[in-house]
């Protein structure tokens, strides 16, 4: 790679990492990003390495919910529900630009495993475990009320149902905002950088050798302690660290479909319960779109290549078509599809038992390993991990700050009010970037055409490409379409029509040669093909 803005930017981060850190985090998903933010805010010299882009794994492939976990009540997992409800309340307060309350309808049928009486007890318990501090308390509905509220729902065997509340989140943006906050607190973070070897001293890891996957440079990072937040890659990373195989996590795959609202439109999110396999499928209104998911199947394939299969898609369509009258949804009706992995903690007492609970383990080489957990509880997981780190490194650090400090800085300047920009776009940018909005305005001032929308029916603008390259380590057009924006998920052509133009803008800002830009274009087209092959006839 020739010397350009990209290499200069990454060289600055590597220079800081080479000097050594107190805490080195491996993995740039939600847990890694949350730990980096917490540690940096407490005063630890913090580094993070991610072998792909931030949020590229499980963290961006969720049901996009911050929820208490109503389904965990069935397993009497009250402590997990209580913790999740508490974290949901905190995130609604600390990240209101990302986390929004959403109403759910749970219809109850004669054929369901649990009738109205038991479900009513469960709903009261759900409110109780949140200390009755949810957005609103649940409501009990008759079958007639449900049909008036949602006429297309299948009336056969309908006994009634419930309205309850959880929250919707932009999952990939939640990760990026934690990364940005960690950076603002002097953490050194690098994507597309893979840990390849570990240095040991007296049986303890004292540093890592990492390879920059873009420049192919190898460099050494000394560190006092290491945290593995590798998600689905945890088992393989453990083998690399200790030289022995140990199954800490098992993986299951879940897929989601995105439909235009005209194909399936509901006033509220709907919970569909399968009596055959006890799975829950959500149908969630997502502005002009509807999100449907998820499946739950065992996964034993390549964790670097996770895609939906035709049978996964047909499973979801069958569930939805049976629950709503007159839909007749087909695979090709979906705009997009994505698949992600759940890294579930295997019980050390019973190898057949798995849990959504989290646990922080220690390897023989004294590495902290984050296992299990869920998107909702990432902040609490991060707090636990950094508490353990602080105890090991013997104090002198501030207590946890993430309970009270908002995730994103608010806009400090009034400069934006003096610049003429589309009102809807302005609102979108301010919510997504907070104080970073001022930097976007500065980009637009230099090139007014950067304020134009990439797609007329979506809020994303060209200036976000330059902003991402300068401020968020955006290095690949695939990551802009899939992780920095929702163009892959929501654009009718999944971004292919605007691919060349957007890749050109990114390439210009990074100083890439045309050959490198063409490679990125080819890779994105292949990604779209692989991701959506399951939707084709």
Instruction: Specify whether 502 is located in the same domain as 458.
Output: yes
Residues 415, 66: Cα–Cα separation, whole Å = 34
Total structural domains in the chain? 3
Instruction: Report the C-alpha gap between 370 and 31 in whole angstroms.
Output: 8
Residue 119 and residue 45 share a domain: no
- Looking at every residue in the chain, the average pLDDT score rounds to 92
Q: pLDDT digit string (tens) for 390-412?
A: 999 987 788 999 999 999 887 76
Are 190 and 83 within one domain?
no
42-46, 172-176, 294-298: range with lowest mean pLDDT: 294-298
Which of 165-179, 287-301, 424-438, 518-532 bottoms out in mean pLDDT, i.e. has the lowest? 424-438
* Per-residue pLDDT at 300: 93
**Is 413 a residue whose pLDDT tops 90?**
no
Q: Which of 313, 346, 379 is the last residue of a domain?
A: 346
Residue 97 lies in a domain: yes
Is 100 part of a structural domain of the chain? yes
Residues 463 and 421 in one domain: yes
- Indicate if 297 and 204 belong to the same structural domain: no
Question: Could you list the residue range(s) of the whole structural domain that residue 141 is in?
Answer: 77-169+250-346
Same domain, 432 and 520: yes
77 pLDDT more than 50: yes
What is d(CA 337, CA 307) in angstroms, rounded to the nearest whole number? 9
User: What's 284's domain CATH number?
Assistant: 3.30.9.10
Tell me if 398 is assigned to some domain: no
Residue 395 has a pLDDT of 72
pLDDT band at 426 (very low <50, low <70, confident <90, very high): confident
Beta-carbon contacts of 245 under 8 Å, excluding residues fewer than 6 positions away, are 235, 238, 239
The answer to whether the predicted template modeling score (pTM) of the entire model surpasses 0.85 is yes
CATH number of the domain that residue 445 is part of? 1.10.8.870
User: Is residue 399 in some structural domain?
Assistant: no
Q: Is residue 196 part of a domain?
A: yes
Residue 407: inside a domain, yes or no? no
Query: Given its phi and psi angles, is residue 168 left (phi above 0), alpha (psi -120 to 50 degrees) or beta?
Result: beta
Bond prior to 294 in cis (omega within 30° of 0): yes
Do 291 and 277 belong together in one domain?
yes
When pLDDT is averaged across residues 315-320 and rounded to a whole number, the result is 95
184 domain residue, yes or no:
yes
Q: H or E element: which one contains 196? A: strand 193-201
Q: pLDDT for 50-63, tens place per residue?
A: 999 999 999 999 99
Distance from C-alpha of 41 to C-alpha of 82, rounded to nearest angstrom:
26
| Per-residue confidence (pLDDT) for residue 118, from 0 to 100 | 94
pLDDT single digits (tens) 352-387: 445 678 899 999 999 999 998 899 999 999 999 999
Give yes or no: residues 185 and 137 share one domain: no
- CB–CB of 337/308 below 8 Å? yes
Q: What is the pLDDT of residue 350?
A: 41
CATH of the domain at 184: 3.50.50.60
Per-residue pLDDT, averaged over 35-59, amounts to 97
Residues 266 and 366 in one domain: no
Q: Are residues 199 and 315 in the same domain?
A: no
Span 483-512, average pLDDT: 97
- Measure Cα distances from 398 to 32, 41, 176, 401 in Å: 19, 8, 24, 8
Same domain, yes or no, for 213 and 269? no
pLDDT reported for residue 316: 96
pLDDT category at 7 given cuts 50, 70, 90 is confident
**Residue with structure tokens 């690949």?**
476
Q: Is residue 68 part of a domain?
A: no
523 & 431 share domain: yes
Q: For position 2, what pLDDT does the model report?
A: 47
Other beta carbons within 10 angstroms of residue 513's beta carbon come to 12
Q: What is the pLDDT of residues 174-220, one digit of tens each?
A: 999 999 999 999 999 999 999 999 999 888 899 999 999 999 999 99
Per-residue confidence (pLDDT) for residue 353, from 0 to 100:
44
């Amino acid at each position: 790679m020739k010397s350009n803005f990209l290499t200069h930017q990454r060289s600055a981060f590597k220079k800081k990492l080479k000097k050594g850190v107190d805490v080195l985090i491996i993995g740039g998903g939600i847990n890694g990003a949350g730990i980096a933010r917490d540690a940096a805010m407490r005063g630890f010299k913090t580094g993070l390495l991610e072998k792909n882009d931030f949020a590229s794994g499980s963290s961006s492939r969720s049901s996009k919910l911050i929820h208490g976990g109503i389904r965990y009540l069935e397993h009497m997992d009250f402590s997990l529900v209580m913790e999740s409800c508490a974290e949901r309340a905190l995130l609604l307060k600390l990240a209101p630009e990302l986390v929004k309350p959403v109403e759910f309808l749970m219809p109850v049928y004669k054929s369901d495993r649990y009738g109205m009486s038991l479900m009513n007890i469960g709903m009261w318990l759900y409110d109780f475990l949140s200390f009755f501090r949810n957005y609103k308390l649940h409501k009990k509905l008759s079958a007639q009320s449900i049909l008036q509220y949602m006429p297309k729902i299948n009336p056969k065997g309908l006994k009634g149902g419930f309205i309850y509340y959880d929250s919707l989140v932009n999952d990939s943006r939640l990760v990026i905002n934690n990364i940005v906050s960690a950076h603002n607190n002097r953490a050194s973070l690098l994507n597309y950088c893979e840990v390849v070897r570990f240095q040991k001293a007296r049986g303890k890891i004292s540093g890592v050798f990492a390879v920059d996957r873009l420049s192919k440079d190898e460099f050494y990072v000394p560190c006092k302690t290491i945290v593995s937040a590798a998600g689905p890659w945890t088992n393989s990373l453990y083998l690399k660290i200790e030289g022995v195989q140990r199954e800490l996590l098992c993986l299951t795959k879940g897929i989601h479909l995105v439909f235009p609202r005209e194909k399936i439109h509901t006033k509220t999110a709907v919970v569909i319960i399968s009596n055959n396999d006890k799975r829950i499928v959500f149908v969630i209104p997502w502005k002009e779109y509807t999100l449907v998911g998820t499946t739950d199947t065992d996964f034993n394939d390549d964790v670097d290549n996770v895609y939906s299969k035709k049978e996964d898609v047909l499973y979801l369509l069958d569930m939805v078509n049976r629950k709503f009258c007159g839909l007749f949804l087909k695979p090709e009706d979906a705009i997009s599809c994505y698949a992600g992995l759940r890294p579930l903690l295997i019980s050390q007492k019973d190898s057949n038992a798995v849990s959504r609970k989290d646990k922080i383990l220690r390897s023989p080489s004294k590495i902290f390993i984050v296992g299990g957990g869920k998107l909702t509880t990432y902040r609490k997981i991060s707090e636990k991990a950094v508490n353990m780190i602080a105890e090991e490194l013997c104090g002198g650090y501030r207590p946890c700050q993430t309970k009270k400090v908002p995730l994103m800085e608010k806009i400090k300047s009034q400069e934006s009010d003096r610049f003429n920009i589309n009102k809807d776009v302005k609102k979108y940018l301010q919510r997504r970037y907070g104080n970073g909005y001022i930097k976007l305005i500065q980009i637009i001032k230099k090139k007014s055409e950067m304020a134009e929308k990439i797609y007329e029916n979506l809020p994303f603008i060209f200036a976000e490409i330059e902003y991402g390259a300068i401020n968020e380590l955006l290095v690949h057009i695939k990551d802009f379409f899939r992780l920095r924006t929702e163009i892959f998920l929501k654009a009718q052509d999944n971004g292919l029509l605007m691919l060349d133009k957007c890749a050109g803008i990114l390439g210009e800002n990074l100083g890439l040669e045309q050959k490198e830009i063409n490679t990125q274009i080819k890779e994105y087209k292949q990604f779209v093909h692989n991701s959506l092959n399951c939707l084709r006839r």
